[in-house]
Structure 1
C-alpha cells in the first residue's frame, strides 16, 4: 500500500513494508533511517527514506509482524541496499548502516557519508550536523522539530513525513559541494577509505565495540 503527500515543493511517497516494483534511483541514492532510539542493537528500525535527488522522496515503513506488518520481508529495498552498482549517500552512515543491518539483515554498500566528508574538509568548524551543512553549503534551513517523535506509530503524521523526507531530499546537492571540497584539498582518497570501512564499523558497533572503541588507546 502506498500514498502520496506533497510538502514544500517535494513529492513524498509513503510505502508500507517495501518499495514497489519498478522504482529506480539511478547510480546514486540518498538514504536515511528513523528508529525507536539511538541504539541500533536495541531500538527497532521503523522507517527508511530514499531519494534520487530529484525532489521526490520514498518513505518505507518497516512494520513488525506483531503489528500486522512483514518485518524484514522487503526484497526490493534489500536489493537496492546491496546493489554494488548504486552508491548510497548517508549523513552519519555509521548509525544507519548498523540500523539497516540489525533490522533487515543485509549490509548496505557501497556508501558515502556527508558527515565524514564534512569532518575531513571543514576543519574550521565543529558544526557537522545535517542542519548546519544544509544551511552553510546549500542555503537550506531544515526543521528538526519532529526528530524525537514516535517513529514506530502505525500511521505517521504529515509533519513526520515531511521531516523524514527532508533528511534525504538535499543529500545529493550537499554531497556535490563536499566532494568538490575534498578534491580541491586533496583528501578524497582518505574519505573513500573511510567510506569503505563504514560497513565493518557498523558491525563492530552492533557487537558492542563502540565503547571501548577498538581504535582507542585504552
Structure 2
C-alpha cells in the first residue's frame, strides 16, 4: 500500500479532510511501553481505501482533526485488539471513539482460536509477519525501513479483514452481538498503573499478611523510583518474581539477596542495598501503620447459591459447544456468581444485573431461566 508520512499540523488536517468522506478506515498505534517508564504513542497508522498515512505524534501539536475523525459516527474505525489503543488515545487525546470495529473481538464471536493479527494475516491473506517488531523501540528516530514496512502492513489489510469478518458475523446472526461489545470496548478509559498503593496492581498481593504487604510496597517503591529515574519500564529494573522472593525471604544483606537468587549480581550491585533498606524499614513499622489489602465484601455463598453456580457452569459448558464460543467469553465466572446470587426470574430481570450484555441474554437467557428453575 502507498503510504505518506504526516509530520505537521497542516499535513494532518489535510489528511483528515480526505478521510471525512470515507465510510471505513483502519487504525493502529505503536507505542514504547516495553522501553520507557511513561509509555506514549510513537506512531499512528491510518489506512484509507488506497493509501496509508503514518502520523508522527512527536511532531504534531494539534490532533483535533484526527480526534474529530475518531469521534465521527459515520466512519467505521477498524482496530485489532483495541483495548491498549483505546486507552492510549484516551490518555493522550481524551477522545471517545465512535463506530469502532475490533477484529479480535469479532473473532471471539466466530470461535476463531488463533486471533492474533499475525495469525489472521497468514490465514486470510498468506502474509507472514515478524513478531519482533512488537518489541522494538518505536520512540527512536529515524524509523528503519523494515519498521515502516511493518507499520504499514499492520494497518493495510484491516479494512479487508473487517469485510471478511463482518460477512461471517452477518451470516450467523451475530453482528449485533459483536457491535454491542465493540461499543463497550470503545468506552474503556486509561488507568494509571503507578497509583499508590502499588501493591494493588501486583499479582498475589491479596494473599499476603499485613507485614509482608508492607515489605512488598516498600520494594515496589524502590523499583518504581529507579524505573522513573532511568526512564525504563519497571519490569526492566527487577521482575515480579524477584520482588516476591525478597518479600518471602526478607534478606538482611546484599549477600543474602544473592544467596536467595532474588537478583542477579548486576542488579544486586545497583539495587541490592536499596532493597535491603526497604525491607528493614518495612519490618520496623509499628503494627498500626501496616497496610491492608482492600477487600470487596462479597455476599456469603450458601449451599443454594453454590448449587446454582455449579448448575450454571454446567449449562455454560453445554451452551459453549452448541454456540461454538469460548466458555469464559460467553459468560465469565464473576457474572455466573452474580446471576446465582440474584436468581432472576425472567430475562428482563437478568438484564438488570450490572455488567450483563444484551447479547448474553439473547444467547443464554432462556437457558439460564431453565437452569435456575431446576435448582433451589
Do the two structures share a fold, i.e. TM-score over 0.5? yes
In the alignment, the residues of structure 2 paired with residue 207 and residue 151 of structure 1 have an alpha-carbon distance, to the nearest angstrom, of 21
Q: 1:61 aligns with which of 56, 63, 66?
A: 56
Decide which structure has greater helix share: 2
Q: Output the TM-score relative to the length of structure 1.
A: 0.79
Deviations 1:176-196 (A, max 9, x none): 111111112111111010011
What residue number does 1:91 align with? 80
Shift of 1:27: 1.0
What residue number does 1:66 align with? none
Shift of 1:58: 0.3
- Are 1:148 and 2:143 matched, yes or no? no
- Are 1:127 and 2:114 matched, yes or no? yes
What residue number does 1:165 align with? 152
Q: Output the TM-score relative to the length of structure 2.
A: 0.47
Q: 1:80 aligns with which of 63, 69, 72?
A: 69
What residue number does 2:44 align with? 48
Partners of 1:17 and 1:62 within 8 A in 2: no
Partners of 2:27 and 2:79 within 8 A in 1: yes
Decide which structure has greater strand share: 1
Task: Give the 3-state SS of the residue equivalent to 1:161 in structure 2.
Answer: helix
- How many residue pairs are counted as aligned between the two chains? 195
- Are 1:23 and 2:10 matched, yes or no? no
Deviations 1:110-138 (A, max 9, x none): 201000011110x2x52100011111123
In the alignment, the residues of structure 2 paired with residue 84 and residue 31 of structure 1 have an alpha-carbon distance, to the nearest angstrom, of 15
What residue number does 2:191 align with? 206
Deviations 1:7-51 (A, max 9, x none): xxx212111254142332611110000111169x94111111000
Task: Give the 3-state SS of the residue equivalent to 1:13 in structure 2.
Answer: strand
Deviations 1:41-94 (A, max 9, x none): 94111111000142x21010111xxxxx445x3222222112221110000112
- Are 1:35 and 2:31 matched, yes or no? yes
Partners of 2:34 and 2:135 within 8 A in 1: no
Partners of 1:16 and 1:60 within 8 A in 2: yes
Task: Give the 3-state SS of the residue equivalent to 1:59 in structure 2.
Answer: strand
In the alignment, the residues of structure 1 paired with residue 56 and residue 333 of structure 2 have an alpha-carbon distance, to the nearest angstrom, of 37
For structure 2, which runs of at least 5 residues remain unmatched after alignment?
194-200, 203-331, 338-376
Partners of 2:28 and 2:45 within 8 A in 1: yes
| Greater relative contact order, per chain length (Cα 8 Å cut-off, separation 6+) | 1
What residue number does 1:6 align with? none
Task: Give the 3-state SS of the residue equivalent to 1:126 in structure 2.
Answer: coil
For structure 1, which runs of at least 5 residues remain unmatched after alignment?
1-9, 64-68
Partners of 1:88 and 1:111 within 8 A in 2: yes
In the alignment, the residues of structure 2 paired with residue 173 and residue 147 of structure 1 have an alpha-carbon distance, to the nearest angstrom, of 22
Runs of 4+ in 1 over 3 A off after TM superposition: none
What residue number does 2:198 align with? none
Shift of 1:166: 0.7
In the alignment, the residues of structure 1 paired with residue 181 and residue 121 of structure 2 have an alpha-carbon distance, to the nearest angstrom, of 22
Distance 1:190 1:47, change over 3 A: same
